[in-house]
Structure 1
Amino acid sequence: MTLLGCSPVTALTPIGVAISPALGEKRAVPDRGLTIKALGGTLRSVTVTAAGLPVLGRYHHNRTEWRSSWSLRPGTDHLVTAVTTDRRVSGRFRTLTATPATPPKVDPLPGETVGVGMPIVVEFKVPVPDRAAVERAFEVVPDRPVEGGWHWFSDTQAVWRPRSYWQPGTRVRFTAHLTGLRFAPGVYGTTDPSATFVVGRSMSSHIDTANHRMTVHRDGLLAQEMAISAGMATTKEYTTTSGVHLTMEKKEKVRMVSPRRKPGDPEYYDLMIDHAVRISNSGEYVHAKDNTWAQGRLNVSHGCVNARPDKAKWFFDNSLRGDPVVIVGTDRPLEPANGWGFWQLTWNAWKAGSALAS
């Protein structure tokens, strides 16, 4: 007897789910992140939590894949649920335990109101082994479109600045998603330093050392004029630097001592100075000094810019960190890495300092 075969039947193929790291893993590597793929179909939903907090991620445009946005938290159970059109997969994995990396210092401070030239400065305690990975973990979110970028001045300092000065009133949120990034063997980030700051009014100063004058404009209008005395220029260190400075900090009193000199040496000094606003890392301040005989006439300082006490107090009281101070008239240019001399670089030179520059 001959048996006749049945006609072909097309079966519905089940949709598989691939998860990396695998569910059940006990020592997942944090900086490899989490990937979930639907094999032969699409993902309807993905939910991941770590220590009770959601793990953020993004779908591929066709929803066949989901990837975590950032690295994973070390030493933590991650609970995963992935739903496709025909199945639900749930489980957990654990990342390896790590020694916490020292968090970096971030400027501006959370909640700070800053000037229109303010950069975001991230200072690490130890050299960063993978600048590109760290730069990808930085997130700058202004409340309006702003073109900007990162520049590495060293293995320990990364700086973000806009292409042009900020618009007054801009609100900016910065987050360094460093949790799960590897900084040394067995050492991973465990915190995400962040700061939200606001750009205040526009205030910029112009100092002409040849004419011994300083003018300050606020929101486009002349706000203050003052006679000044700048560096005497007998040596390089006593020459005021020319270029675009930013106000970095201010103190009611600062002790200023001549570098590499001792009492009795020529041009030695040890002074307490009032209303000091720092504009570089080479000892330059705009500050008060009662030497009106020189202000507006001669440059006799040791490199700082000094003004009459009442004028200097006005500048001190009205300054925000990140206010531009443009100095002209000397033959000593401000180096981009001297303090916050970041606006000394052209935009193309700035972009070339990114770890992600092509």
Structure 2
Amino acid sequence: MTTACTTTDDAGPEGAAAPGPDITVTPGPGAASVAPNTPVRVEAAGGTITDVRVEQATADELAGADGEAGGDTGAAVEEPAFTGTLSEDGTRWQSDWNLAPGAAVSVYATAEDADGEETEVVAEFHTEGVAKDARLAVVSNFPQTGDTVGVGMPVVVAFDRPVENKVQVENSIEVTSEHEVEGAWNWVDDETAVFRPREYWKPHQKVSVDLRLTGVEAAEGVYGVDDDRIDFEIGRELISTMHVPDHELKVRVDGKAVRTIPVSNGKGQERFNTTTSGTHITMEKYAALVMDSATVGIPEGSPGHYRLDVDWAVRTSNSGEFTHAAPWNGNIGHANTSNGCTNMSVEDARWFHDKALMGDVLETTGTGRELEWDNGWGFYQRSWKEWLEHSETGEPQVTDGSGTPGGVHGEGL
């Protein structure tokens, strides 16, 4: 239903048009099965738009009779606010975000002409539902809300199904930080998106990630039905450097040298026991860990197989590299004789373990094996130019709260 009213009781001569601007809302009033990634547009003729408010509600009774079509998100969609952008001349407004699937939508729009005459309209329509087995969901993310992380920390979001419309999904996730940086998304595979800043984060600041996935069409007929938010903190800056032939690891915290640790790295006889050079980001840590080469493709009975119980382990790649205590290694500080890990004394390994945060940086040089960009969190192995080229949007996202590089709506809409 569409209604209109003006701020005056004088309707003018019989047959004359009512005073005030004309307002058009699309999708049109009474529309049904509107695609959730359709933008809401408001246009005013003969005046300027002064207010637009969009309300959505989804409920079980809106579901289809068979329980499949007309899915719902389970509650009224109220937060975050449904915002839009007004044109410079004030005559056109378009929604910034997508609509909830299976929702009853009400658009309240007000415009005013040069004489102060005001028109108000209410337009109501319904969006198409989505089957429960066609809903995009986040299955894991790093970091998580409440985490304090290192300055190299990426944002890693894993979805429960392949994403085809990656541009729309990238533009639906906004990263905001207290100290603004340029960043961008890359995709490790069709289900995993990664955001990293151009350079390391500045320490001691808060970062938020708004996942505005409601109504995003990830693939044909597959839509997000929920929004989410991640709030985490960048802690102190801990950057370690290691030139493998020197047999030592140097640790700096907030720019100050705090410890030099004697180490023994990979013997380098084979690819699997060569420590990788490149920018490593610490991923997880264990007080005690069973290290089995079968987990990295060297099963029992194969040359080079090992199975060790180690203490104070910090993971730096997915190809089996850790820093850890190795009290059996008499070559620490003198020669490289490990299977590729960074061996330390028990005292040093425990110190490093206790200091390490997820997202700390370990920059390694001096070996013949380069860390692959998608090995663990080796994302800084791509230059910023390469990283930006591999972003589906091809543009940086500035983390100042100004929005994402492009639109979230369906192509051609």
TM-score (norm. length: structure 2): 0.80
Q: Hey, what does 1:303 align to over in structure 2?
A: 340
From 354, 357, 371, the equivalent of 1:334 is 371
Alpha-carbon distance between aligned partners in 1 of 2:228 and 2:338, rounded to the nearest angstrom? 40
Contact residue 153 and residue 353 of structure 1 kept, 8 A? no
Identical-pair percentage: 37
Distance in 2 (alpha carbons) for counterparts of 1:74 and 1:58: 22
What is the SS of the residue equivalent to 2:101? coil
Structure 1 match to 2:406: none
1: CA distance, partners of 2:351 / 2:160: 36
Q: Do residues 241 (structure 1) and 276 (structure 2) align?
A: yes
Q: Which of 256, 261, 276 is the equivalent residue of 2:313?
A: 276
Match of 1:33 among 39, 43, 49: 39
- Residue of structure 2 equivalent to 1:4: none
In structure 1, what residue type is equivalent to 2:149?
V
Equivalent of 1:183, from 192, 200, 218? 218
Alignment of 1:22 with 2:28, yes or no, is yes
Separation in 1 of the partners of 2:109 and 2:146?
Answer: 38
State the Cα distance separating 1:290 from its structure 2 match: 0.5
Give 1:51-66 correspondences, 5 Å limit: 51=57, 52=76, 53=78, 54-66=81-93
Aligned length: 349
Instruction: State the Cα deviation string for residues 80-109 of structure 1 (Å, max 9, x = none).
Output: 111111311013211111132222422111
**Contact 2:174–2:210 (CA<8 Å) still a contact in 1?**
yes
- Aligned-pair RMSD on alpha carbons? 1.9
Provide the residue aligned with 2:110 in structure 1: 83
1:94 pairs, out of 126, 130, 136, with 126
Contact 2:28-2:123 at 8 Å conserved across structures: no
Deviations 1:163-215 (A, max 9, x none): 12111112111112111011234321011232111111011111222121111
Q: 2:157 matched to which residue of 1?
A: 122
* 1:108 equivalenced with 2:143 (yes/no): yes
Does structure 2 conserve the Cα–Cα contact (< 8 Å) formed by 1:103 and 1:191? no
CA distance in 2, matches of 1:96, 1:250: 45
Q: Aligned to 2:50, which of 44, 69, 72?
A: 44
Alpha-carbon contact 1:115-1:320 (below 8 Å) kept: yes
CA distance in 1 between partners of 2:18 and 2:55 (Å): 32
Output aligned runs, 1:112-191, within 5 Å: 112-191=147-226
Task: Give distance in 2, aligned partners of 1:30 and 1:243.
Answer: 43
SS at match of 1:139: strand
Supply the distance in 2 between the matched residues of 1:120 and 1:231 (Cα, whole angstroms). 30
Identify if the C-alpha distance between structure 1 residues 173 and 128 changes in structure 2 by more than 3 Å, giving closer, same or farther: same
Corresponding residue for 2:96? 69
User: Judging changes above 3 Å, is the alpha-carbon distance between structure 1 residues 120 and 90 closer, same or farther for their aligned structure 2 residues?
Assistant: same
Listed one character per residue, the Cα deviations across residues 86-133 of structure 1 (whole Å, up to 9, x for unaligned) are 311013211111132222422111111111111111222322111111
Letter in 1 for 2:124: R
Contact in 2 for aligned 1:103/1:189 (Cα 8 Å): no
Spell out, residue by residue over 1:118-168, the C-alpha distance to the aligned partner (whole angstroms, 9 max, x if none): 111122232211111111111011112212222233322222211121111
Query: Which stretch has the larger CA shift, 54-63 or 214-223?
Result: 54-63
Alpha-carbon deviation of 1:13? 6.9
After TM superposition, give the deviation of residue 75 of structure 1 in Å.
0.8
Q: Provide the TM-score with structure 1 as the length reference.
A: 0.92
Counterpart-to-counterpart distance in 1, 2:259 and 2:85: 51
Instruction: Provide the residue aligned with 1:258 in structure 2.
Output: 293
Q: Name the structure, 1 or 2, with higher relative contact order (CA <8 Å, separation 6+).
A: 2
How many angstroms apart in 2 are the aligned matches of 1:283 and 1:267? 13
Matches of 1:261 and 1:147 in 2, distance apart?
A: 40
For residues 136 and 209 of structure 1, the distance between their equivalents in structure 2, rounded to whole angstroms, comes to 41
Deviations 1:43-102 (A, max 9, x none): 111111113524222212222111111111111111211111131101321111113222
> Is the Cα contact below 8 Å between 2:136 and 2:159 reproduced in 1?
no
Letter in 2 for 1:337: D
Matched to 1:312, the amino acid is A
Separation in structure 2 between the aligned mates of residue 47 and residue 94 of structure 1, nearest angstrom: 16
Distance 1:266 1:343 in 2: 32
1:207-247 deviations in Å (ceiling 9; x for gaps) = 22212111111111111121111111121011110011000
Q: Report the CA distance shift for 1:330/1:219 in structure 2 as closer, same or farther (over 3 A).
A: same
Gaps of 5+ in 1: 1-9
Contact map agreement 2:136 2:160 (CA 8 A) in 1 = no
Q: Does 1:319 align with 2:356?
A: yes
Contact 2:280–2:364 (Cα < 8 Å) also in 1: yes
Runs of 4+ in 1 over 6 A off after TM superposition: 10-13
Q: Is the 8 A contact 2:43 2:93 kept in 1?
A: yes
Amino acid at match of 1:313: R
Offset at residue 263 of structure 1 (A): 4.3
Q: Where does structure 2 lack aligned partners over 5 or more consecutive residues? A: 1-15, 58-75, 113-117, 396-413
The residue correspondences of 1:277-296 to structure 2 (distance < 5 A) are: 277-296=314-333
